[in-house]
Chain A
């Protein structure tokens, strides 16, 4: 596979050519895709790798001893090693493939949570979480009688950490996002991890919006669990991962059970396979894992430092352009453009509902998310039912932002 090596600033015109869907014309306009936080587009190399796998290599993994089964197994495990390297894990054994970040977090809530959390035990999460890192803990509370505490949203769109020590006191787990999918806020994970560990709590980081966009070294973050998903990082849907420290995974009971995850099954019981396969019951998403591996090759070819710099610059450009054009008619949520903000810009325009605004934007080919972004507790804090959200990736440039900024005015004709 050919991966272009690009120096910063990114050659976005060239990158765009790697994504076939960006050649689409919608309503007579070029597709301006600004919804990567929801799901990213895929470069041709990913699509072709998956196709080629099915055309030449498909067989089940870890079962057959014939050539193509060996090849399929090798490709699947190579993809795991690529993920491990990408996030700075000590070993591929610490990377469990899941369906997505949601399943990865549920794996922790069900397996680690049911074993380690009992009545009165404290789990801490935050008001800015995606439902994927919120509802599993509500469910755990319902089932175990655990106590839930919350870090609150501060005035500036960051987490209020004034009472961090008190909130973490006696806690067994802190579950926090690495990057807010609504506000773009990047909480200070290392600080949170140190405080949580000092309090005796483990830390789960929801990396769904973090791992695809920032250089990630799980050992430097210091977290105990990191969950993320492939389809937000140029890979296919249906594949995600949970990284956790080896000793944690080894001590955790199986989550889903069946084939692949066992070592032996008898009438009186079963013994589980080694990690990570202990957590991969049934035939896994093989082509998807391979596709994710190629997506990682592509991102590494650009360089995650360059990815981050590009998206940070684009976010600053977008926030400035929106404010300059629309002034007080536009409200942008979250912290100002800075080192603590990811490439996500949620906004409201006048009192026009986000659904209506995004429908108008669609008319000129501009794709943004509209709604509550699966973060209803946060939306209640913000006092809004829905926002529009633009989010960026390596294939976006200032012309994409300009298209968004120009198109917003179009809503006035219908709703102004």
Chain B
């Protein structure tokens, strides 16, 4: 039976207490995208400033539990200054890490997240990360969340929101 230490790793608590890239960007020009966790009401707002193919700046606003907030903070640190392609690779690797079906669960797991892509991939997060040429680094601390299937949505909320923001940033300009 997984315990609290599997979930609340020190690096996670550090990002929760001292969130990186917290704030807002003027929108427009920045893309502003909201994400909602239907389970608990957590809200994440991602402000994304893409210059050329590089994420020039990124800010996180909203409120939520330590897992959603620290995941958003770590995400911001991981993708800021990276290219859009690198960010997408990191998103794919992170989602793979959050998949129920490639993890060894202690007990019978529920199919926790039907809206996200976490239930799909056959390869582990580390394998996807290797394939994608990205290092998950600190983000691997969030791996323990998979042992708490109900909370996977907390960890992936900001990543879904970032993916959506990237799509919007890359969409053909609508009148601007």
Contact = CB atoms under 8 A, between A and B. Distances in A.
Interface of A: 26-27, 353-356, 359-360, 363, 370-372, 376, 379, 385-386, 414-415
A237 B12 CA distance: 37
A313 to B, nearest CB: 31
Nearest to B1: A27
B7 A359 contact: yes
B66 A354 contact: no
A2 B136 CA distance: 59
B14 to A, nearest CB: 12
Given A359-B4, A414-B4, A371 B41 contact: yes
Contacts of A360: 4
A372 B40 contact: yes
Given A27-B1, A355-B154, A372 B65 contact: no
A119 B51 CA distance: 49
13 contacts: A26-B1, A353-B65, A354-B40, A354-B65, A355-B66, A355-B67, A359-B148, A359-B151, A360-B4, A372-B41, A385-B63, A386-B41, A414-B8
A353 B157 CA distance: 16
B41 A385 contact: yes
Interface in B76-131: none
Given A353-B65, A355-B154, A356-B65, A385 B1 contact: no
Nearest to A25: B1
B54 interface: no
Given A360-B4, A363-B3, A379 B41 contact: yes
A415 B66 contact: yes
B39 interface: yes
Contacts, number: 51
Given A353-B64, A414-B13, A385 B4 contact: no
A411 to B, nearest CB: 10
A379 B7 CA distance: 27
Given A27-B1, A359-B4, A363-B3, A371 B39 contact: yes
A414 B43 CA distance: 22
Given A353-B66, A355-B154, A414-B13, A386 B42 contact: yes
Interface string B1-38: 10110011000010010000000000000000000000
Contact of A27 (B3, B63, B67): B3
B151 A355 contact: yes
A385 B66 contact: no
Interface string B39-79: 11111000000000000000000011111000000000000
7 A-B pairs with least C-beta separation: A355-B65, A372-B41, A353-B65, A371-B40, A385-B41, A356-B66, A386-B40
A355 B16 CA distance: 13
Interface of B: 1, 3-4, 7-8, 13, 16, 39-43, 63-67, 148, 151, 154
B41 to A, nearest CB: 4
Contact of A385 (B7, B43, B148): B43
Given A356-B66, A359-B8, A386-B40, 8 more contacts: A353-B64, A353-B65, A353-B66, A359-B7, A370-B40, A372-B41, A386-B65, A415-B13
B64 A385 contact: yes
A360 B4 CA distance: 7
Contacts of B41: 371-372, 376, 379, 385-386
Contacts of A379: 41
Contacts of A26: 1
Interface centre among A355, A370, A376, A379 (most CB of B within 10 A): A355
Contact of B4 (A353, A363, A376, A386): A363
A204 B9 CA distance: 48
Nearest to A385: B41
A376 B43 CA distance: 12
A355 B65 CA distance: 6
Nearest to B2: A27
Contacts of A355: 40, 64-67, 151, 154
A385 B43 CA distance: 8
A372 B41 CA distance: 6
A370 B13 CA distance: 20
A58 B41 CA distance: 42
Contacts of B1: 26-27
Nearest to A380: B41
Contacts of B3: 27, 363
Nearest to B8: A414
B140 to A, nearest CB: 20
Contacts of B63: 385
A386 B154 CA distance: 13
Contacts of A359: 4, 7-8, 148, 151
Contacts of B154: 355
A204 to B, nearest CB: 25
A370 B150 CA distance: 11
A348 to B, nearest CB: 12
Nearest to B13: A414
A415 B8 CA distance: 10
Contacts of A27: 1, 3
Contacts of B8: 359, 414
B42 to A, nearest CB: 6
Contacts of A370: 40
A133 to B, nearest CB: 18
A347 to B, nearest CB: 15
